[in-house]
Structure 1
Amino acid sequence: MQIAVWQIVIITVLAFLYRIERYGTQVLNYNAVLYAWIVGLILGDGLTGLTIGASVQLMSLGVAAIAGSSVPDWPLGAMVGTVITITTGQDMGVGLAAGIAVGTLGVQLDVVAKVLNGFMARKQAVYAQAGEYSKMKRVTFLGPLFFGLTDAIPMFLVLLFGEAVVNGVISAMPAWFTAALSIAGGILPVIGMAALLSYMPVKQYFSFLAVGFVLSAYLGLAILPIAILGGAAAYEVYKKLTSTSVATTTNEGVLEDE
């Protein structure tokens, strides 16, 4: 598939705005599904974007950039994976592998942007001490620019050279290697889910985990109805816990009055 100029421009701007929003309003933040879906729509295949975005979202579960740490740029990886899969016609596992590689590169780019922002902050302090507040405010806008470019530049390069380069690389790969990439693309979401489960009280609610596994693996139920059932079960557990807490508080109050 040949990418049009307007598609290159819009997707590059989307990548730029995503990073600014991630460090700004943080309404969408790490929503890989949404960004991959939008890229898919721009390229004429929203379903592929949703599928890749959902896979990458699972990979990112349990991983967060805490206290300024840098982690793989999952939404960027989802967007790149969507572009490569749609434009080359390759298996989604190949697109996922390439997307995650670019997303991992985002760790280094994120560090570079944060280092540059450190110099910027010191420059702001100099202008503030000198009373040059207009210059201080102008320097402030460099921060979003640095972060936006860390996603816009890789995305632009992939859009500009990705199809030809990726097709050339893939054609040079042996069949066993591309098959391995497809397998890895299927395994990585499971690793993300396992990382998330390590933070959750699995032992306490193992019965719910077992029921969900049976519904999915043996009964072939889709994710949405399983999620609805899980939400209903979680609500019942919540009601039970809150009612127990209220009853305990009431009993303690009665004893104190007596």
Structure 2
Amino acid sequence: MAIWQIILITLYAGFQILDELTLYTGFNTPVGAGFVVGLIMGDLKTGLIIGAGMQLMVLGVGTFGGASKIDATIGTTLATAFSISVSGMSPQVAISSIAVPVAAIMVQLDILARFTNTFFAHRVDHYIETFNYKAIERNFLYGALPWSLSRAIPVFIALAFGRGLVQSIADALNGSWAWLGTGLSVAGATLPAVGFAILLRYLPVKKHVAYLILGFTITTLLTVVFGNIQALGGGVAAVNKNFVGTFNSLPMLAIALIGFALAILYYKKAISSTTSVAAAPKASSVSDEGEITDDEL
């Protein structure tokens, strides 16, 4: 791993948490981290695989107020960098052996950053009493430093000094500990399903089960159709060397547009129902199974 790659990834790690707190451009997400780090490391495909896997894993994970959560973005950052730079480490192994543990450890550093910021908060309180507005502005901006450093420093240390350790682990997982490496690969591949399960646990699935069935069925049908067409095109190309047609696999954009269309239909239906009758206020309700039922329009 070149020094310029370490520097760029470190700078990204420090920036992404500030982006999450302010701009929220999308580069502070696991899939955004996979894209950025994969681009820096020269392997965009591996970065997107790891980023998408971690993004799916945390679909149903959320926090409220000032609560800390697992930092899947930093986990993706290190997992992508090591998966690309270390030989013999698959994306699935990187997710289960690096991304998930790092994401959990970063909870403690997130808490440390929050506590450190209280120093600047007390300084702001002091300068409010003396009406020193410039000092108030400076200390408000200084609060960004603990947040940024809480991500940049661990990433820099891991990338600069941890590659040898990770390489040794990868060699062991492909050697005498191959059974463990296989298990980690399976675990990494199943984590997106866990994320979907958590998400479905908190979404109003019972109320909108028709949309769930419809989306699953459409996706399955289009996958079969496009898969058969692609196989047919490959067979024709193998027989006829002059055949120049291209048969693509299932475009995810098509699935996304179908979901978007269904969301528009539901939104319009909800708007029409709320405008026809006055919406009476109601208290938050949770079903016996724990499903939240008042989080839709």
Provide the aligned C-alpha RMSD in A. 2.2
Match of 1:70 among 68, 71, 75: 68
Q: In structure 1, what is the Cα distance between the partners aligned to 2:109 and 2:90?
A: 28
- Tell me which residue corresponds to 1:185: 188
User: Residues 39-118 of structure 1 correspond to what in structure 2 (within 5 A)?
Assistant: 39-89=37-87, 90-97=89-96, 98-118=98-118
Q: In structure 2, what is the Cα distance between the partners aligned to 1:190 and 1:172?
A: 27
Q: In structure 2, what is the Cα distance between the partners aligned to 1:30 and 1:11?
A: 13
Q: In structure 1, what is the Cα distance between the partners aligned to 2:141 and 2:122?
A: 14
SS of the equivalent of 1:201 reads coil
Q: In structure 1, what is the Cα distance between the partners aligned to 2:43 and 2:148?
A: 25
Whether the aligned pair in 2 keeps the contact of 1:33 and 1:54 (CA below 8 Å) is: yes
User: Residues 82-161 of structure 1 correspond to what in structure 2 (within 5 A)?
Assistant: 82-89=80-87, 90-97=89-96, 98-161=98-161
162-171 or 83-92, which moves further after superposition?
Answer: 162-171
Q: In structure 2, what is the Cα distance between the partners aligned to 1:238 and 1:87?
A: 46
- Tell me which residue corresponds to 1:233: 262
**Unpaired stretches in structure 2, ≥5 consecutive residues:** 224-249, 279-297
108-117 or 76-85, which moves further after superposition?
Answer: 76-85
Q: In structure 1, what is the Cα distance between the partners aligned to 2:184 and 2:219?
A: 25
- Tell me which residue corresponds to 2:165: 165
- Tell me which residue corresponds to 1:255: none
Identity %, equivalent residues? 36
**Unpaired stretches in structure 1, ≥5 consecutive residues:** 251-258
Q: Please tell me the residue identity of whatever aligns with 1:144.
A: A
Task: Give TM-score, length-normalised by structure 2.
Answer: 0.76
Q: In structure 2, what is the Cα distance between the partners aligned to 1:30 and 1:206?
A: 31
Q: Structure 1 pair 93/121, CA: closer, same or farther in 2 (3 Å)?
A: same
Task: Give TM-score, length-normalised by structure 1.
Answer: 0.86
75-84 or 28-37, which moves further after superposition?
Answer: 28-37
196-205 or 206-215, which moves further after superposition?
Answer: 206-215
Q: In structure 2, what is the Cα distance between the partners aligned to 1:222 and 1:214?
A: 16
Q: In structure 1, what is the Cα distance between the partners aligned to 2:139 and 2:265?
A: 52
Whether the aligned pair in 1 keeps the contact of 2:86 and 2:170 (CA below 8 Å) is: no
Shift of 1:227: 2.1
Whether the aligned pair in 2 keeps the contact of 1:216 and 1:222 (CA below 8 Å) is: no
SS of the equivalent of 2:42 reads coil
